[in-house]
Amino acid sequence: MMDPQTARTLPRSLRPKGSQPLMSRRPPRRTAVNSRLSLRVAVQCGWWLGLASAGSGCGMVSSTGPSTRLRFDLDVQVESDPAKPLAAVAILQSAKELGRTAADGSVRVTLIGNNGDVVALNVACPEGFASPEKPLSITLRPLVGVSVVPQYRARCEPRMRSLVVAVRAKGGSDLAVKHLGREIARTDSDGVAHALLKVPPAEQVTVVLDTSGPDHTRLRPTSPEFTMTMPARDEVAVFDQTFSELVSPAKKTKKQGPAPLGPVKIEAPNRSHF
């Protein structure tokens, strides 16, 4: 008698009568344990997507989500005048300070955003310097090369400028050099003097050589002035002046006229010698 297992493997036409047909394999029944496991994996996948914006095997992340925000580094160089770096300048994004310039006037800041975003950076200058009226406009663009960092420049204008006045007063020794009624220097025996003033840009400056003293009343011109408008930079000005001195009038003397004419006494000759 043929083994039932062998009979099941034969074609239907060759099987002996009474043999059992080969049963088709059915898929395993899903149990409650498998259902709970699948639910747990789905929940964990969704949690990791929300936390880290990326999950291994959990699907793709939308390109418009927060995961597209990138880091952009840039340098800001601040000067008070050309080739004069300025330290302690604060760089702000809204009210948040991103950094301050070092002694070389440079600071590196980091911005977070999307490619193509435009960010405004405010430059807050230290005391004694005027901050720029307009902020720096930064367009976030990735650059080729890891070591390439874009650089932006800003300027902090000094509120006061230095003015050196060099006085050359020929014939005017020991004269007071005055500004706003205050003596700021005095000429030496050669009529030379130097004075340093702190003046805001665009202000008019007037310097006077004062000849009102009792020892200079004969000098001409009387108390000459030098006037200029302060530029938006440090400046050296030369006050060149030549004085002349009045000659004192000569004292009047009594003029002697010719001897008066009149009789002349003639002495008689001495007759004793004859």
Instruction: Write the pLDDT tens digit of every residue in 5-38.
Output: 555 555 565 555 555 554 445 555 555 545 554 5
Least confident segment among 64-68, 179-183, 225-229: 64-68
Q: What is the mean pLDDT of residues 76-96?
A: 97
Is the fold of 67-158 the same as that of 161-245? yes
Judged against a pLDDT cut of 50, whether residue 49 lies above it is answered with no
Where is average pLDDT lowest: 39-48, 73-82, 152-161, 248-257? 39-48
**Total length of the chain:** 274
Tell me what pLDDT residue 61 has.
35
Averaged pLDDT for residues 254-271: 63
Mean pLDDT of all residues belonging to the chain: 81
Q: What is the DSSP string of 176-234?
A: EEEETTEEEEE--TTSEEEEEEEE-TT-EEEEEEE--SGGGTTEESSS-EEEEE--SS-
Q: What is the pLDDT of residue 41?
A: 46
pLDDT score recorded for residue 2: 54
Distance CA 217, CA 61 (A): 93
Whole-angstrom distance, CA of residue 274 vs CA of residue 266: 19
% the chain with pLDDT above 90: 62
Share of the chain above pLDDT 70, in %: 65
Under DSSP, the state recorded for 62 is: P
Domain ranges of the chain: 67-158, 161-245
Tokens of 190: 């050669």
pLDDT of residue 233: 95
pLDDT digits 0-9 by tens, 151-174? 999 999 999 999 999 999 999 999
Residue 46 has pLDDT above 80, yes or no: no
Phi, psi of 201 (to 5 degrees): -60, 145
The pLDDT value recorded for residue 27 is: 53
The answer to whether the CB of 142 falls within 8 A of the CB of 71 is no
Cα–Cα–Cα angle for 96, 102, 107, rounded to 5 degrees: 50
Question: What is the pLDDT confidence band of residue 62, given thresholds at 50, 70 and 90?
Answer: very low
Strand bridging mode 151-155 / 70-81: parallel
- d(C-alpha 161, C-alpha 166), whole Å: 16
pLDDT given at position 28: 54
DSSP strand pairing (70-81 vs 84-85): antiparallel
Look at residue 142 in the predicted model and tell me its pLDDT.
Answer: 83
Q: Which has the minimum average pLDDT: 9-13, 62-66, 144-148, 236-240?
A: 62-66
Q: What's residue 17's pLDDT?
A: 57
User: What confidence tier does 111 reach under pLDDT thresholds 50, 70, 90?
Assistant: very high
Distance (Å, whole) CA 117 – CA 31 = 52
Under the banding of pLDDT at 50, 70 and 90, the label for residue 43 is very low
CATH 2.60.40.10 fits 67-158, yes or no: yes
pLDDT above 90 (res 3)? no
What is the rounded end-to-end Cα distance, in angstroms, of the chain? 227
C-alpha–C-alpha distance, residues 128 and 199, integer Å: 12
Query: Pick from 98, 89, 233: which is nearest to 154 by CA?
Result: 89
DSSP code of residue 271:
G
Pure H helices in the chain: 4-9, 32-52
Give the CATH architecture of domain 161-245: Sandwich (2.60)
How far is 131 from 89, CA to CA, in rounded Å? 9
Per-residue pLDDT band for 180 (boundaries 50, 70, 90) equals very high
User: In 104-140, which positions are buried (b, 16+ CB within 10 angstroms) versus exposed (e)?
Assistant: ebbbebebeeeeeeebebbbebeeebebeeebbebeb
